[in-house]
Homo-oligomer: A and B are copies of this chain.
Amino acid sequence: MISSRAQVTEMIAAAKVRKGLKWADVAKEVGLSKEWTTAGCLGQMTFDKKQAEIVGKLFDLPDEAVAWLQIVPYKGSLPTAIPTDPLIYRWYEIVNVYGTTIKELIHEEFGDGIMSAIDFSMDIQRESDPKGDRVHVVLSGKFLPYKTY
């Protein structure tokens, strides 16, 4: 009996290591970006039927798991509010150190509102650099203004 998406995420994690799959390859099969596809496989996005079946085949999932991939999951991928993993913590630190800066600059440009985390996309690339390669990330989120009413 599968009673939560978390169980499916564990199945995917196990199969990925067992079969030596790569997220970039999974994404190609699914036909979407590696960022969205990985987030989906890690239990954060909702697949449509066709996508779910592809994912199911790649990771040898039972039908019940394929059905769960099409259910909107309870989101949030971190075990603690402040992440302990160094790679993820650096992102938390960016939000903590630069949080008020980001806020000031978006408001200066756009006025009161937010940058959407829903109408949003992310692209992560390697950036060659003689002093050591860099992680180059583009975040694009629609600006949503607060309106008076």
Measured between beta carbons, the chain B residues less than 8 angstroms from A85 are 74-76, 99, 103
Q: Which A9-39 residues sit within 8 Å CB-CB of chain B?
A: 10-11, 13-14, 17-18, 20, 22-24, 32-36, 38-39
Q: Which residue of B lies closest to A88 (CB)?
A: B99
Measured between beta carbons, the chain B residues less than 8 angstroms from A24 are 108
> Across the interface, do A76 and B96 meet the contact criterion of CB distance under 8 Å?
yes
Measured between beta carbons, the chain B residues less than 8 angstroms from A87 are 102-103, 106-107, 113-115
> Across the interface, do A143 and B134 meet the contact criterion of CB distance under 8 Å?
yes
> Across the interface, do B96 and A78 meet the contact criterion of CB distance under 8 Å?
yes
CA distance A89 to B23 in the complex (A): 28
Known contacts A78-B100, A101-B44, A108-B24; is-contact A135 B149 (Cβ 8 Å) = no
Measured between beta carbons, the chain B residues less than 8 angstroms from A75 are 84-86, 96-97
> Across the interface, do A99 and B91 meet the contact criterion of CB distance under 8 Å?
yes
**What distance in Å separates the Cβ of A113 from its nearest Cβ neighbour in chain B?**
6
